[in-house]
Amino acid sequence: MVDAHSPNRLNQTQPTMDTLADLLEKNRNWATSVKAEDPSFFSELANQQTPQYLWIGCSDSRVPANQITGLAPGEVFVHRNVANVVAETDFNLLAVLQYAVDVLKVRHVIVCGHYGCGGVIAALENFRHGIIDNWLSGIRSLHRAHREELDALPPQAAADRLCELNVLAQARHVARTTIVEDAWARGQQISIHSWIYRLDNGIIKPLVPHIGKKLNDWNAQLD
Ligand code: CO
């Protein structure tokens, strides 16, 4: 006989927010509908992934890589952190990049920032936010390097411009990694893209033509 007061019974009959039952139910519904459309979808994906794209984006919950690009599971390898920073001392990023380039052999690396990025805005502010200030030090340097241009703009436009400059800088950092330099030297085809997403209309804008092969070619395009 089931004890009406046991924790199990409570969990079965009175799911609370703590159980995230709604998320699990949505997951089951999603898996069922995907399988109904393509019965072999999950069994094929379980065997291998062959994504063409590596996405380096912001952790912001409003910028989910798959949803905003209409890509299905298996189509994009993803790394996200606050303000889509590419730091050459970040072993998390480097491990993702190396796996994407050397093993998955992705054709495109997309660095996608977004306007209204809290990380970029924090780097513009003159007060302490905590450990994140250390993470954002590269963006503060970028701000200092472009102070003349940014100070001439109204605050909102300056923040937007720094979001763009950050994407361009981080894309250049990708191109300067030994991982990408070595891949290009081997003749591997990889393009690096600098994109920015606008939260209030859901549209992605490419900032400059993509970087193919040589960073110098790309720097020339920026001038
Ligand atoms: Co952000």
pLDDT digits (tens, 9 = 90+) for 81-92: 999 999 999 999
Mean pLDDT value of segment 199-223? 74
Is 60 in the active site?
yes
143 catalytic? Reply is no
Alpha-carbon gap, residue 53 to 99, rounded angstroms: 12
Report the predicted TM-score, pTM, of the whole model to 2 decimal places: 0.87
182 is catalytic: no
Rounded Cα–Cα distance for residues 209 and 26 (Å): 39
Active-site choice (62, 107, 147, 176)? 62
143 CA distance to ligand 1 middle (Å): 16
Distance (angstroms) between ligand 1 centre and the Cα of 49 equals: 27
**Neighbour-count burial for 168-201, b at 16+ CB within 10 Å, e otherwise:** bbbbbbbbebebbeebbeeeeebebbbbbbeeee
| Residue 70 CA from chain centroid, whole number | 15
Each residue of 13-51: pLDDT tens digit?
455 568 899 999 999 999 999 999 999 999 999 998 999
> Catalytic annotation on 112?
no
Q: What is the pLDDT of residue 16?
A: 57
